[in-house]
Structure 1
Amino acid sequence: MRIRDIIEGKKEWRAHVARVKALPQDYQIVYKEIQKYLFKVGPVELTEGTGLLSGLVDLFEEGAASGKGVLEVTGRDVAAFCDDLIKDSKTYADVYRESIDHEVYKAVNKNANKK
């Protein structure tokens, strides 16, 4: 990664954070909880730019502009809303699951070849 890419990425992130801070307080709270949730469970591509999070801010800005409460936008089950956001994305749990399967397969085949 080049220095210019890092600087550009930081500029994009700062602009993103400014958009979040401009949201109404209830939207900010829910955004931060969703962000924490997504950083814990995945998806893998979440760290590649701000695509998913930026789309979430777009959705929240639209909801706030139309006078909706944040839970009218997400629904009362915010974790289910998050899961729906990433349902087609590869998560860190998926990567870990594949790693375990790979290691078990390797170990089983290694033992089978010894016999």
Structure 2
Amino acid sequence: MGIQDMIEGKKQWRAHVARIKALPPDYQIVYKEMQRYLFKVGPTDLAGEDLLPGIVDFFEEGAAAGKGVLQLIGSNVAAFCDDLIKESPTYADVYQKSLNGNPGTDEK
């Protein structure tokens, strides 16, 4: 990754954060909880996907329609996040696969 790629990535992240700050306060709180949960659970391709920007798009549409954030996602934030990433491998899956490998072998 070159310097230009890092600069572009930082610009994109700052634009993403600005979109979050433009959301109503309840949406911001739920988004931060979702982001924290997703970073903790760790879908391995989170950085490469459009998952987080897609959530912001979804929230912007809901806010524009005058809906509360819990009307959009329900009361269980973790369950909503799990549904979003159910097809994505997580770091827990990778770890489990490494435990299921043959003892004494190096799986890299």
Assess same fold via TM > 0.5.
yes
CA distance in 2, matches of 1:18, 1:82: 22
Give the drift of 1:7: 0.5
- Greater than 2 Å deviation, 4+ residue runs: none
Structure possessing the higher radius of gyration over alpha carbons: 1
Larger helix share, 1 or 2: 1
CA distance in 1, matches of 2:83, 2:42: 12
- Written as runs of structure 1 = structure 2, the 5 A alignment for 1:58-69 is 58-69=57-68
Match of 1:97 in 2: 96
Match of 2:8 in 1: 8
Amino acid in structure 2 at the alignment position of 1:2: G
- Written as runs of structure 1 = structure 2, the 5 A alignment for 1:49-60 is 51-60=50-59
How high is the TM-score relative to the length of structure 1? 0.87
What is the aligned-residue identity percentage?
68
Q: Deviations over 1:1-47 (max 9, x none)?
A: 11111000000000000000000000000000000000000111112
Give the drift of 1:101: 1.0
Give the drift of 1:76: 1.0
Amino acid in structure 1 at the alignment position of 2:67: K
Q: Deviations over 1:43-84 (max 9, x none)?
A: 1111236x1000000000000000000001111111100000
Match of 1:71 in 2: 70
Q: Determine which of 86, 100, 103 is the counterpart of 1:106.
A: 103
Q: Which runs of 5+ in 1 are unaligned?
A: 110-115
Q: Which runs of 5+ in 2 are unaligned?
A: none
Q: Provide the aligned C-alpha RMSD in A.
A: 1.3
Number of residues of Structure 1 aligned to a counterpart in Structure 2: 105
How high is the TM-score relative to the length of structure 2? 0.93
CA distance in 1, matches of 2:61, 2:40: 26
